[in-house]
Amino acid sequence: MAKEVMRTNDLQFSGRPNLTGQKAFSYKHIDVAFTPYSNYWREMRKICVIHLFNANRLHQFRPVRENEVSRMIEKISKSASASEPANLSEIIMSLLCNLICRIAFSKRCEDDDGQAERVGNKTRFHHILAETQAMAGSFFFSDFFPFMGWVDTLTGKNRRLKKAFEDSDKFYQELVDEHLDPNRPKVDQQQEDIIDVLLRIRKNSETKIDLTWKHIKAVLMDVFVAGTDTSVATLVWSMTNLMRNPATMKKAQEEVRSVAKNKGFVDEDDLETLQYLKAVLKETFRLQPPVPLIPRSTTEECVVDGHKIEAKTLAYVNTLAIGRDSEVWDKPDEFIPERFIGTDCVDFQGQHFQLLPFGSGRRICPGISMAMRTLELALANLLYKFDWKMPEGMKNEDLDYDILPGVAMHKKIPLKLMATKFI
């Protein structure tokens, strides 16, 4: 059925549902992720593919990725030296937030000591991300029962959404204003961050769209949310799965350590040979897809499996159910990376509908290469640099698989582990 929706009828199912939370954060559907399929959407996606996530940008940001992973390792090393549990959920979130911030606007969201402007127990940036994710995926009565929209007001949903959007909009505008400062040092195209690129495109009219500040902020929202949320979830679930399967953990560590040997750090040149590590990530995508429900909406009437589907019909591709379907996978509830080893193995580029972590068809994620490079680099160094065990009094079997509600599939209880330095 996923193939029917995402390939056979890909054009007809290329729309997005018009949901309250997503409409707000996308500046009324002028971003890429939540905007309905149209000539406008194609032009916006082209900006992302050609200017933001091309091979040159992937290479340009390699030092940033390697530096931030090194900082993550240093942070974990301090916990290891103090014989304290490392909160991997928090540390990995910090890694991705700082990485995306440096790629987007050339600054970390916290300083070298982990200090930053905070809202409650989160950095300002993390708080904005958390609220965006929570409200973009939240259920609003007005979306499905318009006559009951008053419930959203009564429960405080509308007020919370308004505050979350205003906070994020203010943050994005501050970033744009910093880049517009005439006293800001000029950079050439090889050193541009994402805001620099978007401002250059706007200034030089390099696109058919008349880019406004709202367009730029909408793209920033996509980059921040998609670039952090799903990657954080995948890394945390990968480590959770490996802890629950010690033999698999050992095999993955042996591969990484045999490749990196005594280098002290797994760099991006090593990644292509780490086939078992790649299989671990694929198996995590299968069991814990970063987006368990991929939303689509029909742009016109079509036929699916002999059934007539009306225009503006909302559909969800349930990647979580596909990944655990016994008719598709052998031993679907077991963590077996070996199923992805071999020349005929399933890939995640959108051509094999058994595994769809990045979607498929016209709406496939444009940042796959950037995401995978980050995931592989971070996981490889976590396995290379440390041996892992549960905190005192806990067993590997005690690790839970409870899920937080939201657009991305996050682990509910933070993952805290004891790290011992290996090298």
For 173, the token pair is 């505008």
DSSP for 253-274 reads HHHHHHHHTTSSS--TTSGGG-
Q: What tokens were used for 369?
A: 């290469």
Element (DSSP H or E) covering residue 65: helix 62-81
User: Secondary structure of 285-311 in the HEC alphabet?
Assistant: HHHCCCCCEEEEECCCCEEECCEEECC
The rounded distance, in Å, linking the Cα atoms of 379 and 240 is 12
d(CA 215, CA 272): 36
Q: Half-sphere exposure of residue 368, counting CA atoms within 13 Å on the CB side?
A: 13
Answer yes or no: are the C-beta atoms of 362 and 14 closer than 8 Å.
yes
Q: Kindly give the pairing relationship between strand 307-309 and strand 416-421.
A: unpaired
> Which 3 state secondary structure label does DSSP give 373?
helix
Instruction: Establish whether 365 is an annotated binding residue.
Output: yes
Strand partners, 315: 296
Burial of 188 from C-beta contacts in 10 A (0-12 / 13-18 / 19+): exposed
Which stretch of DSSP H or E encloses residue 419?
strand 416-421
> CB count, 10 Å around CB of 309?
19
Q: What would the two tokens of residue 95 be?
A: 């890694």
DSSP per residue, 333-352: TS--GGGG-STT---SSSS-
With contact defined as beta carbons under 8 Å apart, do 252 and 242 qualify?
Answer: yes
- List all residues 6 or more positions away from 243 whose beta carbon is below 8 Å from its beta carbon: 249, 388, 390, 396, 399, 417
Q: In terms of Cα–Cα distance, which of 10, 1, 130, 57 is closest to 373? A: 57
Distance CA 11, CA 6 (A): 8
Distance separating alpha carbons of residues 236 and 72, to the nearest angstrom: 14
Structure tokens at 74: 């240093």
Binding-site annotation, residues for heme: 365
Binding-site annotation, residues: 365
